[in-house]
Amino acid sequence: MIENNIIDELGVVNKHIAELEAVARKLKEQLIARGVGEYEGVAFYAEVRHYDRATISPRLVRELADENFVSAVTEIKPIDSVTVKPFAVERI
C-alpha cells in the first residue's frame, strides 16, 4: 500500500461517516421515542417535531401519467460520482 493514498484516506473517512451516521440514527430514535418537545443538554438542545411532508412518487407518476408527460417533466443533469469499496481481503 502506498502511504497517504487518497483512495484509502477517502475509504477510511467514508467508514467513519457511516459509523457516526448509525450512532446519530440511534440517538434520534431515542429522542423521537420521548415525544414531541424540546430537550436540553449541556451545550445543545434538540427539538422533536412531527409533521406531514408531501412527496411525489416517481413510481406512481410513471404508472399514472403518459410517457410524453413524464418526459416533459424529467430533467437530466450530469453527475460526477466517486464510489470507494474495500477489497474483499485486506492487502498488506
Give per-residue pLDDT as tens, 24-49: 999 999 999 999 999 999 999 999 99
DSSP secondary structure code for residue 73 in this structure: T
Whole-number Å distance between alpha carbons of 92 and 47: 47
Angle at CA 88, nearest 5°, toward 87 and 91? 55
Q: Would you state the pLDDT for residue 34?
A: 97
Identify the pLDDT of residue 92: 58
Residue 65: pLDDT above 60?
A: yes
40: DSSP letter: E
Q: Is the pLDDT of residue 14 over 60?
A: yes
pLDDT higher than threshold 90 for residue 2 = no
